Amino acid sequence: MKIISKPVQITISNGVTLPPSSSLPTLTLHPTQTGMLPYTAAIFPIEGSVPNGQSVFSTQDSSLRSTVLSRWPDGSASVVVLAGVMSVTSGMTKQLQLAIGATSGVALTSNRVSQLVTSVAINCGGLGSGTLSNFSQPEKVWWSNERVVCCRYRVPIGSDQTLEAVIDIHAFSSNHAFVEVVLENSKLAASSKAPTKPANKSYTASVAVNGVTVSTATSTAGPNGSHEAFRAWYASYWIGGAPGIEVTHDIASMQSHPLFFKIWKAGGSQAGYASAKYTPWGLGEQPASGLAGGGDSYQIGPLPLWECHYLQTGAKETRRAVIASALGMLTYGINYRDSATGLVPRLDAVHPKRMSGVQDWPQTETEPTIDGGGAHHGAAGLMAFMCQPSPVFIEIAQKIATWNGTNWSTTGEFHTDYQQRGYGWCMRSLAHAIFLTPDNEPWKTSAKADLYLNVQRGTRFKNSPLNKLDIIWDDATPPVSDFDSGVPGCQQPTFMVEYQITEIPKVANAKLLSGTQQAELVALADWICKFPVRFVNEATGGAWRAIGASRLTVSSVANTFAESNWGAVQAYQFRDDSPPPLAGPWLEGRDVTKYSLLTAASTAGANYSSYFWAALATAVERNIPGAAEAWTKVTQNITNLNTWSEGFVSDPRWGVYPRNK
């Protein structure tokens, strides 16, 4: 076998080439059983790492095989599912160095499922039951190689029109099968003018695999005491006995990926996640009161806190929290399934319906719920799939995107009137879903159209002659809205712009669009990064250190941009006081008009100086004109930078460090 592996560099905007990372991830197997046992994981190779026509293998496990689900524009693999069989000893880890080359073998088919699984039965008492016993004709094969095949089946419950078991079965060459069952109350006619919302369901349910009861659940334990529409729960079972092998990824390869980021500070103990485990109607680390917390809440950010901890540590304990919390999204009211296709509704079938105002796209509003249109929602699905490849996580990412695309407009544009943070978060979640969806899925094409629609929305702000300060303001059209008319001048929540800056460049770097559409996305990403650079470089003295809190004055005149640069804005901000000196700590305050109102930020983590730091680091990584100057100015003049940044150890969500530094 010829090994072709070599270090690969990442080229991003403005011709910047990041330092080479290892060609492929290093995986660590953490066994809790002893024997010759199967394992599976997914990897997200950076562009060029696995050229078209090549396979992933490991010299430590000659049985390892791979399947490519999607590819970068150059044809190299972007999402790869791995499976192998290894002799392991409980408590003794094993590392797998991955490489590329040529492998051979005959891929497994649905016949392998039939050899291992005899029946999957779901009994919902008086509502009826459903049994799957013929596995020869799956609805689809998600992936297949010599070591594993993953097949999709669906089973209705009795004569109920909306209650359905969605079943994915991973059959291995090693006489093991992993059976996943999601019980949904979700079916609707997505293309109809006003789809009908399923009625609440009441039952006591059991799931049996090969005649063995593997899970029970009651609808009374669900939100609002029933199985409401668009909610679901999950059960799983290993035929042949659970292998008990947890697979983790090295942090260097994860942090080199365009959809993730380089974390500044190494992490501490993740023992708090050790017992993380999903149960029916569970939420994992997600909040029971829904995803409507403020911008500082732990589930909000480029990634939720637990996913950032996995990116920071690669710990098996944190991996458990990633998986359990992603499954927890099933409990939220996002689980739509098109009765015509049996899949998550394509976004082109959803438009022009919307939840808010028109009310012709149905929703479930009782807690827990995703906050309005995703203004506060966290990511789910992408990292969970990497930790444990499952169609459930592909569809969770798609479901979040469908929810966001139906909430605030009839076209699929995100947050056309308010809460510009949602524009950043929804772009992030849509990109995750597109990236994760296999290339042959129609959902992916439809979602790309929505992504470009939102690129065009951002471009309208970019090209507006009103926009002298290079930000996306908190409104859909001019005039610029005044976020707080009680404060002199025009107030805008610039921290929401910083959220966009951390996300839209990642979307551009993932190269999800092509041709002129991708070029427009790259231009938008470069433009949106101008704000932190200009804010620092155009400042007088240390006015740039006073980044504001929830709002910042952007003009001396309400509802407009009267000043043409940030230096003039800051002069107005400090019109009753002198600006702070060049050197000192970060300064924060609410609706700042006087230096005396500012207080020093003593610790990083989830606070406004942290958001600004992440935005500036993103601009530096993209090599935006003036970014190097701004970086030097900040790093040499924030006098408590070392102590302040220690807050990123426990909360790394905003602890971005430029990969070209």
pLDDT tens, 630-649? 999 999 999 999 999 999 99
Give the 3-state secondary structure of 618-654: HHHHCCCCCHHHHHHHHHHHECCHHHHHCHHHHCHHH
pLDDT bin (cut points 50, 70, 90) of residue 18 is very low
- The predicted pLDDT at position 308 comes to 96
> What pLDDT sits at residue 77?
97
Whether the Cβ atoms of residue 228 and residue 364 lie closer than 8 Å to each other: yes
Structure tokens at 115: 């050899």
C-beta separation of 545 from 565 below 8 A: no
Is 492 strand, coil or helix? strand
The tens digit of pLDDT for each residue in 230-282 reads 999 999 999 999 999 999 999 999 999 999 999 999 987 888 999 999 999 99
pLDDT, tens digit (0-9, with 9 covering 90-100), for 515-546:
999 999 999 999 999 999 999 999 989 999 98
**pLDDT 10s digits, 441-474:** 999 999 999 999 999 999 999 999 989 999 998 7
Predicted pLDDT of residue 641: 94
Q: Record the pTM.
A: 0.95
Within a 10 A sphere around the Cβ of 184, how many other Cβ atoms?
24
| 414 domain-assigned | no
Residues 64 and 191 in one domain: no
In a domain, 272, yes or no: no
Distance separating alpha carbons of residues 166 and 122, to the nearest angstrom: 11
Predicted pLDDT of residue 19: 41
Mean pLDDT of the 481-489 span? 83
Q: Does residue 419 lie within any of the structural domains? A: no
pLDDT at 73 over 80: yes
Q: Is the same domain home to 224 and 336?
A: yes
CB 205 within 8 A of CB 123: yes
- Residue 200 has a CB neighbour count (10 Å cut-off) of 16
Domain co-membership, 480 together with 607: yes
Which of these three, 58, 83, 103, is where a domain ends? 103
CA distance 437 to 79: 9
Give me the torsion for CA of 565, 567, 568, 569, rounded to 10°: 90
Same domain, 521 and 634: yes
42, 79 Cβ separation under 8 angstroms: yes
- 118 and 86 co-located in one domain: no
How many CB atoms neighbour CB 540 within 10 A?
A: 15
Cis peptide before 352 (omega within 30 of 0): yes
Same domain, 99 and 114: no
Is beta strand 599-600 parallel, antiparallel or unpaired with respect to 187-188? Answer: unpaired
Distance linking the first and last C-alpha atoms of the chain: 37
Examine the domain organization and report whether 595 and 621 are in the same domain: yes
287 contacts 293 by C-beta, under 8 angstroms: yes
Cα separation, 567 vs 202, whole angstroms:
62
Sheet bearing 245-249, strands edge to edge: 55-58, 94-101, 26-31, 245-249
How many independent structural domains does the chain possess? 3
Cα distances (angstroms) measured from residue 113 to each of 66, 152, 393: 18, 11, 21
Residue showing tokens 């798609």: 398
Q: Which of 103, 133, 167 is the last residue of a domain?
A: 103
Q: Are residues 339 and 478 in the same domain?
A: no
Domain that holds residue 191: 110-245+294-409
pLDDT band at residue 378 under the 50/70/90 scheme:
confident
Please report where in the chains the tokens 């697979």 appear, as a residue. 247
Q: Quick check: is 425 in a domain?
A: no
Which residue among 393, 409, 425 closes a domain?
A: 409
Per residue in 545-582, pLDDT (tens digit) is 988 766 788 899 988 899 999 999 988 888 888 888 99
- Following CA atoms 172, 176, 182, 187 in sequence, which dihedral angle do they give, to the nearest 10 degrees? 40
Q: 71-75, 152-156, 312-316, 590-594 — which is least confidently predicted?
A: 590-594
Q: How far is the CA of 405 from the CAs of 303, 388, 430, 446, 453, in angstroms?
A: 20, 27, 9, 12, 11
253 inside domain: no
Residue 43 has pLDDT above 80, yes or no: yes
With bands split at pLDDT 50, 70 and 90, how would you rate the model's confidence at 589? low
Decide if pLDDT at 396 tops 70. yes
Closest CA to 522 of 506, 536, 539: 506
Mean pLDDT over 216-234 rounds to 97
Model confidence at 13: pLDDT above 70: no
- Please tell me the predicted confidence (pLDDT) of residue 357: 60
Residues 185 and 95 in one domain: no
| Residues 34 and 131 reside in one and the same domain | no
Helices within 315-375 (DSSP H only):
316-328, 347-350
In a domain, 317, yes or no: yes
Q: Mark whether 347 and 222 lie in a shared domain.
A: yes
Give a yes or no: residue 203 inside a domain.
yes
pLDDT in tens, 311-369: 999 999 999 999 999 999 999 999 999 999 999 999 998 888 888 666 689 999 888 88
User: Same domain for 527 and 381?
Assistant: no
Percentage of residues of the chain with pLDDT beyond 90: 73
Residue 6 banded pLDDT, cuts 50, 70, 90: very low
Q: DSSP per residue over 501-548, as a string?
A: HHHHHHHHHTT-S-HHHHHHHHHHHHHHTHHHHHHHHT-STTGGGB--
Predicted confidence (pLDDT) at residue 593 exceeds the cutoff of 60: no
Is 597 within a domain? yes
Can you tell me the distance from the alpha carbon of 149 to that of 108, in angstroms, rounded to the nearest whole number?
6
